[in-house]
């Protein structure tokens, strides 16, 4: 707009009035700056480097994806190239045993898997469920399946009973490969599964204690040939959404999406094949298996696989294996801060922490205490195409969108009722974009024929439609709804605020549970704190309730109440407190609130100690059954 005015002025001054250049240019510049243009120049200067880098990354990844699709390069083909280049370099280290696999060994193992499945009559499009804890074999198994077009269903190894049967059933798996450590879970569900499902067990096992008909995987693999069978490509595997509410959904991952997710992170954050990645995240999840392991398969990086995250061993492992990049997710960073200080936490070569969900309240404490120069925070769900990355090393941000050319990347924040998740629409029925500083839901436009932008959906079609809305950017379009509320600053940096539906209203104000959780946890020595809104009969909105994991009951309520007065405005202070030994988490360290929200503050629903904030005394007092009636 402003630029258009300047062009018109230029035209008028030069051609119609005939003023000389030395008068025209300064006056246009003064007009431009005077009309607010200098702010744009400032933002331009601050962000142009970041934007050019990001544009370069996007173009490079897009070009590579197109080339791979044109040349029909599947992930196994890309991996074959990695093996050719890196051959005897270490590909995977399994921290549990210290066992190292070179790229060649990983290749041979996965070829054996592929040949075994071929011998057994598996064909392209068949599904095999993979149910085991993280280890190198896990990667070899799904990679081997991919080599013959068999799709893996990567099942969360924490699942049991109905949830486990549900995940195996919706994937239509013809076989289940399970780790011997999960034999008990398999025995429990064996009778509920179809008779035709083949069972293969990996690891040390006892034939007496496994479900009837189970075969041992290792001898079969040893007998299988190590050459590469030939075939084309399709879907790679299914990943299940973590399911903080309800049953998990299976999200489809195709080869190009796997490549894209791994490559965006690799180029965006400036990694090299000489980096060593510490991957302590579960391999049934995209962060561990794509963002982590993908760097090994595609870019030839050494990846250290940890069976299970351990806060106390974290920095020792990093030092031992000379890791330069660590992965984190959800609450992991807070658990590390919760550990006693020791020397090793600064004596390592970690130059970057890569992940998502680092809370702004602990961001700087994390980088300074652990001597990690860069936080590579990114945003993006497996099934979401609206990925963001904090390429600019900006404290607290999870990504950005260009302010110079905001339309290049088709994502946007749109206004939403943070409580009900309803999109707020203008008079023309199209969503309203947010200005800097206004919270809004992140959405990504859907263009089905662009492989970079495609939403591959869920296995179950009904689940797909809930995540898609129409008339979002303009009339007649469709867009993916991320379900998360973010805020953008004037430079275009985006900051995670809350999940939609997690915000609640109290005393006429919006309370972000994410923010309150961050503050309370800091006041309570990094304890696990879960915040949610509960309905109080007769009161408008929802009252805040905080569940605090405190097995020793070490919280000093008097002090906590005082600290809280300084840290939070009155409406954000939790009205109810609940102390318990442990809060339930998903396999990816996200809190599960649904159950606790349902139980509310009714003492008869739980044996936990409950407290409420007595408004007249400004202190927390114990809540008894009778007190409820006088609230
Ligand atoms: C880590 O680096 C040191 C020094 O460069 C080297 O001696 C050691 O073998 C390395 N450790 C591993 C596990 O590669
Ligand atoms: C990232 O920012 C932090 C704090 O602003 C700074 O200390 C650090 O050196 C930066 N890291 C890189 C790699 O630029
Ligand atoms: C709370 O959020 C709603 C939209 O979700 C908005 O209309 C309202 O103005 C907000 N209230 C405050 C006090 O910020
Ligand atoms: C999100 O997905 C849709 C549909 O697959 C696509 O058209 C859209 O461009 C994607 N957005 C981004 C930012 O990738
Ligand atoms: C945690 O999960 C267990 C098992 O699903 C359940 O019995 C328990 O009630 C949950 N605890 C809370 C506080 O929700």
Residue 179 scores a pLDDT above 90: yes
Query: What are the counts of helices (DSSP H) followed by strands (DSSP E) for the chain?
Result: 20, 28
User: Residue 335 falls within a domain, yes or no?
Assistant: no
Asked whether the beta carbons of 318 and 278 are under 8 A apart, the reply is: yes
Number of domains, the chain: 4
195, part of any domain: yes
Confirm whether 558 is domain-assigned. Answer: yes
Is residue 473 in contact with ligand 4, taking CB distance under 6 Å? no
Same domain, 450 and 535: no
Atom of ligand 2 nearest to the CA of 352: 13
Amino acid 339: pLDDT: 93
Residue of 223, 214, 135, 129 whose CA lies nearest to 177: 129
CATH number for 591 = 3.30.300.30
Tens of pLDDT, residue by residue over 288-334, are: 999 999 999 999 999 999 999 999 999 999 999 999 999 998 789 98
pLDDT at 34 over 90: no
373 lines ligand 2 (CB under 6 A): yes
Together in a domain, 202 and 294: yes
Say yes or no: 176 and 193 in one domain.
yes
Chain centre to alpha carbon of residue 169? 25
Which residue would you say has higher pLDDT here, 545 or 248? 545
- Ligand in closest contact with the CA of 506: 3
Q: Model confidence over 424-481: pLDDT tens digits?
A: 999 999 999 999 999 999 998 887 655 544 556 565 555 555 678 889 999 988 888 8
Helix orientation angle between 557-567 and 513-523, rounded to the nearest 10 degrees? 130
Nearest ligand 1 atom, CA 276: 14
**Phi and psi torsions of 434, nearest 5°:** -90, 150
Q: 3-class SS at 158?
A: coil
Verify that 241 and 283 share a domain, yes or no: yes
Q: Do residues 469 and 462 make contact, with C-beta atoms less than 8 angstroms apart?
A: no
Tokens 């179950």, residue located = 460
User: Is the pLDDT score of 404 beyond 70?
Assistant: yes
Given pLDDT bands bounded at 50, 70 and 90, which one contains residue 417? confident
Q: What is the pLDDT of residue 22?
A: 67
> Which atom number of ligand 3 is nearest to the Cα of residue 418?
5
DSSP per-residue string spanning 462-503 = HHHHHTEEESSSSTT-EEEEEEEEEEE-TT-EEEEEEETTT-
Note the pLDDT of residue 239. 84
DSSP codes of every residue in 362-407: GHHHHHHHHT--EEEEEE--TT-S--EE-TT--TT-SEE--SSSTT
Cβ-in-10-Å burial (0-12, 13-18, 19+) of 11 comes to exposed
Average pLDDT over residues 108-114: 95
Residue 377, in any domain of the structure: no
For residue 437, the domain's CATH number is: 2.30.38.10
* Residues 148 and 41 occupy one common structural domain: no
Q: Residue 602 CA to chain centroid, in angstroms? A: 34
Residue closest via CA to ligand 2's atom 8 equals 373
The CATH number of whichever domain residue 165 belongs to comes to: 3.40.50.980
**Which strand (E) or helix (H) includes residue 85?**
helix 75-86
Could you tell me if the CB of 374 is within 6 A of ligand 2? yes
- Confidence band of 386 (pLDDT split at 50, 70, 90): confident
* 117 and 140 in a common domain: yes
Instruction: Output the CA 416–ligand 3 centroid distance in Å.
Output: 9
Of 29-38, 127-136, 184-193, the range with the highest mean pLDDT is 127-136
| Residue in this structure with the two tokens 């041979």, named with its chain if needed | 108
pLDDT, tens digit (0-9, with 9 covering 90-100), for 187-231: 888 888 877 788 898 888 777 777 878 888 888 888 888 777 655
Residue nearest to atom 10 of ligand 4 (CA): 453
Measured at the alpha carbon of residue 293, what is the angle toward residues 291 and 295, in degrees to the nearest 5?
70
Nearest CA-CA partner of 476 in 430, 432, 444: 430
From CA 302, how far away is CA 279, in angstroms rounded?
A: 10
Q: How confident is the model at residue 174 (pLDDT cuts 50, 70, 90)?
A: very high
Mean predicted lDDT score pLDDT of the chain? 86
| Cα 406 to ligand 5 centre (Å) | 44
pLDDT confidence of residue 246: 60
Task: Say whether both 420 and 515 belong to one domain.
Answer: no
Mutate to test the pocket of ligand 3, among 423, 510, 513, 571 (most ligand atoms within 8 A of CB): 510
Residues 46 and 87 in one domain: no
Give the distance, in angstroms, between the CA of residue 558 and the centroid of all CA atoms in the same chain. Answer: 37
Q: Which pLDDT does position 414 carry in this prediction? A: 94
Q: Cα separations (Å) of 545 from 563, 567, 579?
A: 17, 16, 11
Which atom in ligand 5 lies closest to the alpha carbon of residue 580? 13
**Buried/exposed 58-92: b ≥16 CB within 10 Å, e otherwise:** beebbebbeebeeeebbbbbbbbebbeebeebbbb
Please tell me the distance between residue 137's alpha carbon and the centre of ligand 4 in angstroms.
33
pLDDT at 232: 47
C-alpha angle 468-470-476 in degrees, rounded to nearest 5: 140
Q: Output DSSP code: residue 193.
A: S
Mutation choice for ligand 1 from 90, 99, 322, CB with most ligand atoms inside 8 A: 322
Reported confidence tier of residue 5, pLDDT bands at 50, 70, 90: low
Is 623 in contact with 576 (CB distance < 8 Å)?
yes
On the question of pLDDT at 515 being above 90, the answer is: no
Most ligand 4 atoms within 8 A of CB, residue of 454, 470, 473 to mutate:
454
Atom index in ligand 5 nearest the CA of residue 606 equals: 13
Structure tokens at 282: 């579960």
- Percent of the chain predicted with pLDDT > 90: 44
**Mean of the pLDDT values across residues 348-369?**
93
In DSSP terms, which residues pair with 338 in a beta bridge?
none
Q: How much is the pLDDT for 124?
A: 86
CA nearest neighbour of 410 among 473, 488, 492: 473
Residue recorded with tokens 């486990």? 164
Last residue of a domain, one of 441, 464, 499: 499
Please indicate, yes or no, if residue 320 is contained in any of the structural domains.
no
A 10 A CB-CB count for 532 gives 24
Residue 233's pLDDT is what? 45
Beta bridge partners of 531: 546
pLDDT tens profile 321-356: 999 999 998 789 989 998 999 999 999 999 999 998
Boundary of a domain, candidates 479, 499, 519: 499
- Pocket of ligand 3, beta carbon within 6 A: 417-418, 509-510
Check if the beta carbon of residue 575 is closer than 8 Å to that of residue 613: yes
Same domain? 81 vs 195 = yes
Query: Is residue 354 domain-resident?
Result: no
Ligand nearest to the CA of 244: 5
Query: Would you give the DSSP letter of residue 347?
Result: S
Residue at 138 is within a domain: yes
pLDDT for the residue 419: 76
Residue of the CA atom closest to atom 6 of ligand 1: 322
**Domain range enclosing 23:** 1-59
pLDDT of residue 586: 76
The pLDDT > 70 percentage for the chain reads 88
Residue 547 Cα: closest atom of ligand 5: 13
For residue 266, is it within any domain?
A: yes
Residue 116 Cα to ligand 3 midpoint, Å, equals 59
Question: Binning pLDDT at 50, 70 and 90, where does residue 279 land?
Answer: very high
Q: Is residue 225 domain-shared with residue 293, that is, in the same domain?
A: yes
DSSP 212-248: TT-EEHHHHHHHS--SPP-----EEEEEE---SSSS-
Report d(CA 389, CA 377) in Å as an integer: 6
300, 252 Cβ separation under 8 angstroms: no
**Per-residue pLDDT at 20:** 67
Q: From the CA of 606, how far away is ligand 5's center (Å)?
A: 11
* CA–CA dist 428, 604 (Å, integer): 50
C-alpha closest to that of 503 among 436, 564, 571, 561: 571
Strands 576-580 and 542-549: parallel
Last residue of a domain, one of 477, 499, 521: 499
Q: Which of 595, 596, 606 to mutate to test the pocket of ligand 5 (most atoms within 8 A of CB)?
A: 595
Residues 6 or more apart whose Cβ sits within 8 Å of residue 31: 5, 6, 9
* Mean pLDDT to the nearest integer, 162-180: 91
Q: Give the residue, by CA position, lying nearest to ligand 3 atom 12.
A: 509
What is the per-residue pLDDT for 60? 94
Task: Read off the pLDDT of each residue in 8-31 and give the average, rounded to a whole number.
Answer: 65
Q: Which residue's alpha carbon is at the smallest distance from atom 3 of ligand 3? A: 417
Cβ of 270 closer than 6 Å to ligand 2, yes or no, is no
578 shares a domain with 449: no
**CA-proximal residue: ligand 1, atom 1 (nearest):** 322
CB 324 within 8 Å of CB 349: yes
Angle between helix 2-11 and 21-32 (nearest 10): 160
Sign of CA dihedral 413, 417, 418, 422: negative
Ligand 1, CB within 6 Å, residue ranges:
321-322
CA of 314 from ligand 1 middle (Å) equals 17
State the pLDDT at residue 449: 58
- Do 85 and 123 belong to one domain? yes
């Amino acid at each position: 707009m402003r630029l258009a005015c300047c062009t018109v002025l230029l035209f008028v001054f030069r051609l119609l009035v005939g003023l000389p250049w030395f008068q025209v240019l300064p006056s246009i510049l003064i007009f431009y700056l005077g009309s607010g243009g200098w702010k744009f120049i400032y933002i331009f200067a601050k962000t142009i480097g970041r934007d050019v880098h990001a544009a370069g990354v996007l173009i490079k990844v897009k070009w590579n994806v197109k080339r791979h699709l044109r040349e029909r390069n599947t992930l196994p083909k890309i991996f074959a190239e990695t093996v050719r280049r890196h051959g005897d370099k270490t590909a995977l280290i399994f921290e549990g045993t210290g066992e190292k696999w070179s790229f060649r060994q990983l290749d041979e193992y996965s070829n054996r898997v592929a040949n075994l499945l071929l011998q057994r009559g598996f064909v392209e499009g068949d599904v095999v469920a993979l149910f085991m804890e993280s280890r190198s074999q896990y990667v070899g198994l799904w990679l081997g399946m991919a080599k013959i077009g068999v799709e893996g269903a990567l099942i969360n190894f924490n699942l049991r009973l109905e949830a486990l049967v549900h995940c195996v059933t919706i994937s239509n798996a013809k076989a289940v490969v399970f780790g011997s450590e999960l034999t008990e879970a398999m025995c429990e569900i064996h009778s509920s599964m179809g008779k035709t499902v083949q069972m293969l067990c990996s690891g040390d096992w006892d034939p007496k204690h496994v479900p009837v008909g189970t075969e041992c995987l290792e001898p079969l693999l040893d007998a299988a040939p190590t050459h590469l069978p030939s075939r084309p490509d399709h879907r790679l595997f299914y990943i299940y959404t973590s399911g903080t509410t309800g049953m998990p959904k299976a999200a489809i991952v195709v080869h190009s999406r796997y490549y894209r997710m791994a490559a965006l992170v690799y180029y965006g954050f400036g990694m090299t094949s000489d980096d060593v990645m510490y991957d302590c995240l579960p391999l049934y999840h995209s962060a561990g298996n794509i963002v982590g392991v993908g760097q090994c398969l595609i870019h030839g990086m050494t990846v250290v696989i940890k069976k299970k995250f351990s806060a106390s061993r974290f920095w020792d492992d990093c030092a031992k294996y000379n890791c330069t990049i660590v992965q984190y997710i959800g609450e992991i960073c807070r658990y590390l801060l919760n550990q006693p200080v020791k020397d090793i936490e600064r004596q390592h070569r970690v130059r970057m922490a890569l992940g998502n969900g680092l809370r702004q309240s602990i961001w700087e404490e994390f980088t300074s205490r652990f001597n990690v120069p860069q936080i590579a925070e990114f945003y993006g769900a497996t099934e979401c195409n609206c990925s963001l990355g904090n390429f600019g090393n900006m404290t607290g941000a999870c990504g950005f969108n260009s302010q110079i050319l905001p339309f290049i990347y088709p994502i946007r924040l749109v206004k939403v009722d943070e409580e009900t998740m309803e999109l707020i629409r203008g008079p023309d029925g199209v969503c309203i974009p947010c200005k800097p500083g206004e919270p809004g839901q992140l959405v990504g436009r859907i263009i089905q024929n662009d492989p970079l932008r495609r939403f591959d959906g869920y296995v179950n079609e009904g689940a797909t439609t809930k995540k898609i809305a129409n008339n979002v950017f303009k009339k007649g379009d469709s867009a993916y709804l991320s379900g998360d509320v973010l805020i953008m600053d004037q430079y275009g940096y985006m900051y995670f605020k809350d999940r939609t539906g997690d915000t609640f209203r109290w005393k006429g104000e919006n309370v972000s549970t994410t923010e309150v959780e961050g503050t309370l946890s800091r006041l309570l020595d990094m304890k696990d704190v879960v915040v949610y809104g509960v309905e109080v009969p007769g009161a408008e909105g929802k009252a805040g309730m905080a569940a605090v994991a405190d097995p020793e009951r070490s919280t000093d309520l008097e002090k906590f109440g005082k600290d809280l007065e300084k840290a939070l405005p009155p409406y954000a202070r939790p009205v109810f407190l609940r102390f318990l030994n442990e809060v339930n988490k998903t396999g990816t360290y996200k809190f599960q609130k649904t159950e606790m929200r349902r139980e509310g503050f009714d003492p008869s629903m739980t044996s936990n100690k409950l407290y409420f904030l007595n408004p007249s005394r400004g202190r927390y007092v114990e809540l008894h059954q009778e007190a409820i009636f006088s609230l």
